[in-house]
Structure 1
Amino acid sequence: MEESELLEPFELHYSDLILLSSPPTNDSVSSEELERLEAVKRTILETLGPEGPGLLSITGVPSTSLLRRNLLPLARKLALLDHGRRKLILKNHNLGSDVPLKNPDRIVSSFAMHLKYAEAQEHNNLADKLNNDDPHGSDSEVECEDNEFKNLAGRFKELGYCMMELGLRVAKICDKAIGGQELERSLMESGTAKGRLIHYHSFLDNLVIENSCGKKASSKKVADFRQKQEVCLRSKLKELKGTNLVGNGNERGPCGNQGNLWQQWHYDYGIFTVLTAPMFRLSESIAADQECPCPDGNSCLQVFDSNRNRVLRVKSSPESFIVQVGESADILSKGKLRSTLHCVSRPEKLGTLSRDTFVVFLQPSWNKTFSISDYAIGHSGLGANLEGNSSTEHELDELAKRIREIVPPLSSRLKDGMTFAEFSRETTKQYYGGRGLQSNS
């Protein structure tokens, strides 16, 4: 398989998202404008459908830049806190985690909260609310370490509600094109979405965690410890220079991709996943880090194009949002939308580079029943290429075969009449149970 290509997703401007998802009005609209909007709607369905990549980008969302910049840097700070203090902060802000945060060898830290549609709908005048200079008052200027997390829950919800609106509006557009209101109704019936603030560790981050003192101490003792820790970590990094752990660019996996993954290949099993453009940081010491551009112009999100049997690296423009199709949308649309097989790759020079993002998972209610009549279950993702199709086996390369071993086919997880709760349990069991093939997710 050749070097992976850079995918530039279709960019849907927020103003068009509003027009296409809003009820028709009596305002006069020129025939040219109606034609343009129809063309945009067709492109959305083609992009999210069986022949497309299964994701698109939304740009021009008003005043979200500040929300993103206020929230994302907190992911690394939370990840590197000692466990006791972090546990208290998460409790105070009603946050949990689906990652074992006591594990010092983890390469991802995730902080999660359930976001309620009822509360999100109270923000009906969202655009005016977001257009405030700073929705968190003077907190953006606070530098005191004791206060830097004081509006964590507020920031989490504010950005989460905005992203829920984006996903809901995309669902409305897809419903109009497909017919019916299945996607929108399924989202609203669920009552909640799940938000996750995620930090993908640099190698230095893991050294910091491993060398953490893990106990309360005076400010002077902490400062002395950090100074000694800096010397120790710099010494270790120097020893590791030139190895593939720090990243000299020599380690390459199949198809020329990075051999390292922050998150293993998988499908999201909800309806839509909405992601912020990631924030990358270079950290040359414990406290000193700086934001840097996406490496090689890509987001480190990779998708598997089953139509052409290759990996695509997803580019994301600054301040944009990615909307990605999940398996539930694939099922509910009877295959008119196509779920996205994806992973998060580590850049070749990964030693001091970390990645932060905020993700909202939109899913149906737990008691939503799936019917697979008129749904070709074998078409989904890898199914067409890999699931029991010996005639194409010789065409598959090493990476595709590896993905087949890791990703359980939809037909083994979905049965007619299953509820979403049953489907999600079976999916989780097959991904994470048994041999633990998704252990680094």
Structure 2
Amino acid sequence: MAAAMEAEVLEPLALRYSDLLLLSSSPSGASSLPSQELGRLESLSSRVMEALGPSGPGLLCVTDVPGAPAMCRALLPLARKLALLAGCDRTRVLKSHGLGTDVPLKNPDRNVSSFAGQLKYTRDPSLEVHSSLAKHQHENGHILEENRKDIQDVFDDSEFSQLGDAFKDLGFCMMELGLRLAQLCDSKMGSQELELSMLEACTAKGRLIHYHSNLDNVILKEIKKRAKGSGRKPSVIHRSVPQGSRAVGMSNPLNSGKELQNKQDGPKHLGGESNAVTVGCRTSLSDLWQQWHYDYGIFTVLTSPMFLCLDDAPQADLNGTSCIPSSQECSPPDGHTCLQLLDSTANKVLMVKAPLESFIIQVGESADILSNGRLRSTLHSVCRPAGLRGLSRETFVVFLQPAWDKTFSPPDHVLACGKELASSEEVRAGHGEKNSSNFQLMADENSYNLKEEILKAVPPLCSRLRASMTFAEFSRETTKQYYGGSGTQSIR
């Protein structure tokens, strides 16, 4: 198997929300600003385009968004709770809030549980995060205190009473960020292609994601085993976090099934001075929460992830009731998000280290196409930190995309790539070599080429995009080549 490699750290461009408002406003709105401020904004907008362009990482961070911490804390912890519910209970909760799931949830060994919903433009496109925040604080602010109460109770729907509202509030906030960034990019490119394409769609997709810890999978198997043995639906108890112990660090990250040390002084890094361990992600092709891929929409807006630590192993009472241990917020492993990018030019992997409580915005392939390559999508994956059996990752993602009937014309760099790919296939055919798209690891570690091995799992854009193809057709072809019967990732 190919060797793992240390990933280099990438700290993306951090764009303050207040600056994003100024940069996305009309030129007339900025005309009254001092010349020095106008110069700063012009320089900043150029840095934004560089970060999102062919020579940049294809992403940036938006920081200091009003109300973001409260909205994230109201929603993100619900991802794990939903993932560990009995199937019938989860279905009832999701349906009552107009949500669903877009991944199979019957496999207890799954890496990810995902809960999705449509976010429709039901008001003015220039979504105001401040009005969303005010509504959120008025209706949902009590969630934070309720989650800290020291109670032990059998699951009921009331724990998820604000799920739908929290999903929409955070979703609309993130949609605004994407739309404002589209306005900024359009103004620099002299068009309105990105913003109009989003507004024509009138909808975006939100996805609340729980990346399972190894111990979460142990819990799922135990719940399934007990339900099968008793012949009845499993009764699940969520053991809550004692008041005042929201954020803790592991006493031994390599044995995270044991009780954690409860600390009152805020989040603590995994692995202290007297118990230091390497918990940072190493570039691996086999131990990933999410495989290497490109996003195919316009922009993907993500919350900086929340990491949860499981405090002990699953237990059961004498009646066979499954008791799910609480998970408590902890600091990111070495400050990383576990999101990693491939720098194909330098043949290396970059680990994204984003500010806490920020939002990450990534360029998707549709933006690459609509901008004729001036914006460039980035190949990325989510790594699983080695040795941390009790660590899970929670995030919320909004996918901004064009209308399904939007037609595409391949950009120049995609056309050039297509010609290069066709030429290389002819050469291979001439030498009698079989062009397999299956993902295979080199046995000889000395000949290991990271870029080659990653790209074997990813169908190139030029193989999925044709002239006059609609976004719906492009979406179907992309899904087919990744996950279809003969797709590059169909066997994983």
Superposition TM-score tier, normalisation by shorter sequence? 0.7 to 0.9
Distance 2:256 2:188 in 1: 58
Distance 1:294 1:345 in 2: 13
Contact kept, 8 Å, 2:342 with 2:380, in 1: the verdict is yes
Distance 1:386 1:293 in 2: 47
Distance 1:251 1:135 in 2: 39
Distance 1:113 1:7 in 2: 31
Distance 1:287 1:384 in 2: 54
AA partner of residue 301 (structure 2): V
Residue 405 (structure 1) shift: 1.4
Contact kept, 8 Å, 2:126 with 2:176, in 1: the verdict is no
Give 1:58's match in structure 2, choosing from 39, 58, 62: 62
Give 1:283's match in structure 2, choosing from 300, 307, 310: 310
- The alignment-based identity, stated in percent, is 54
AA partner of residue 63 (structure 1): G
Aligned residue for 2:450, secondary structure, equals helix
Contact kept, 8 Å, 1:263 with 1:440, in 2: the verdict is no
Residue 363 (structure 1) shift: 0.5
Aligned residue for 2:90, secondary structure, equals helix
Any idea what the Cα deviations from partners look like across 1:336-382, whole Å, max 9, x if unmatched? 0000100000001231100000000000010000012x5220567x9
1:216 counterpart residue number: 233
> For residues 251 and 281 of structure 1, do their structure 2 counterparts lie closer, same or farther at Cα, with a shift above 3 Å needed?
closer
Any idea what the Cα deviations from partners look like across 1:82-135, whole Å, max 9, x if unmatched? 11100110111111111101222211000000101224x388553144146454
Give 2:208's match in structure 1, choosing from 197, 200, 203: 197
Residue 156 (structure 1) shift: 0.1
Give 1:24's match in structure 2, choosing from 22, 27, 31: 27
Give 2:94's match in structure 1, choosing from 87, 90, 94: 90
Give 2:484's match in structure 1, choosing from 424, 433, 439: 433
Structure 1: give runs of 5+ residues left out of the alignment.
224-236, 242-247
AA partner of residue 84 (structure 2): L
Give 1:422's match in structure 2, choosing from 459, 463, 473: 473
Residue 398 (structure 1) shift: 2.8
Question: So what's the TM-score if we normalise by structure 1?
Answer: 0.86
Distance 1:265 1:98 in 2: 18
> For residues 152 and 386 of structure 1, do their structure 2 counterparts lie closer, same or farther at Cα, with a shift above 3 Å needed?
farther
Residue 397 (structure 1) shift: 4.4
1:33 counterpart residue number: 37
2:296 counterpart residue number: 269
Aligned residue for 2:28, secondary structure, equals coil
Distance 2:334 2:490 in 1: 27
Residue 323 (structure 1) shift: 0.3
Aligned residue for 1:180, secondary structure, equals coil
Contact kept, 8 Å, 2:257 with 2:311, in 1: the verdict is no
Structure 2: give runs of 5+ residues left out of the alignment.
148-152, 239-253, 259-275, 313-323, 428-445
Give 2:393's match in structure 1, choosing from 326, 342, 355: 355
Distance 1:19 1:239 in 2: 46
Any idea what the Cα deviations from partners look like across 1:286-336, whole Å, max 9, x if unmatched? 322211111011100000112222110000111000000000000000000
1:186 counterpart residue number: 197
Aligned residue for 2:476, secondary structure, equals helix
Contact kept, 8 Å, 2:128 with 2:173, in 1: the verdict is no
Distance 2:8 2:202 in 1: 38
Residue 411 (structure 1) shift: 1.1
Aligned residue for 1:57, secondary structure, equals strand
AA partner of residue 273 (structure 1): T
Residues 1:103 and 2:96 aligned together: no
Give 1:408's match in structure 2, choosing from 439, 459, 463: 459
Question: So what's the TM-score if we normalise by structure 2?
Answer: 0.77
- How many residue pairs get aligned? The number is 414
Correspondences of 1:223-242 after superposition (within 5 Å): none
Give 1:366's match in structure 2, choosing from 404, 410, 429: 404
Give 2:413's match in structure 1, choosing from 357, 369, 376: 376
AA partner of residue 81 (structure 2): K
Distance 2:422 2:386 in 1: 29
> For residues 68 and 238 of structure 1, do their structure 2 counterparts lie closer, same or farther at Cα, with a shift above 3 Å needed?
closer
Any idea what the Cα deviations from partners look like across 1:36-83, whole Å, max 9, x if unmatched? 000000000000000000000000100110000010000000000011
Residue 142 (structure 1) shift: 3.1
> For residues 239 and 16 of structure 1, do their structure 2 counterparts lie closer, same or farther at Cα, with a shift above 3 Å needed?
closer
1:152 counterpart residue number: 163
Contact kept, 8 Å, 1:330 with 1:338, in 2: the verdict is yes
Distance 1:46 1:179 in 2: 16
Residue 175 (structure 1) shift: 0.4
Any idea what the Cα deviations from partners look like across 1:203-255, whole Å, max 9, x if unmatched? 00001001103443678xx69xxxxxxxxxxxxx97999xxxxxx989999x7
Residues 1:44 and 2:48 aligned together: yes
Residues 1:344 and 2:382 aligned together: yes
Distance 1:168 1:239 in 2: 41
> For residues 218 and 91 of structure 1, do their structure 2 counterparts lie closer, same or farther at Cα, with a shift above 3 Å needed?
closer
AA partner of residue 41 (structure 2): L
> For residues 87 and 333 of structure 1, do their structure 2 counterparts lie closer, same or farther at Cα, with a shift above 3 Å needed?
same
AA partner of residue 119 (structure 2): L
Give 1:168's match in structure 2, choosing from 169, 179, 186: 179
- RMSD of aligned alpha carbons: 3.3
AA partner of residue 216 (structure 2): D
Residues 1:320 and 2:358 aligned together: yes
Correspondences of 1:385-400 after superposition (within 5 Å): 388=424, 397-400=448-451
Residue 148 (structure 1) shift: 1.3
1:229 counterpart residue number: none
2:272 counterpart residue number: none
Distance 2:202 2:256 in 1: 52
Distance 1:386 1:298 in 2: 39
Contact kept, 8 Å, 1:72 with 1:356, in 2: the verdict is yes
Aligned residue for 1:358, secondary structure, equals strand
Aligned residue for 1:118, secondary structure, equals coil
Contact kept, 8 Å, 2:257 with 2:310, in 1: the verdict is no
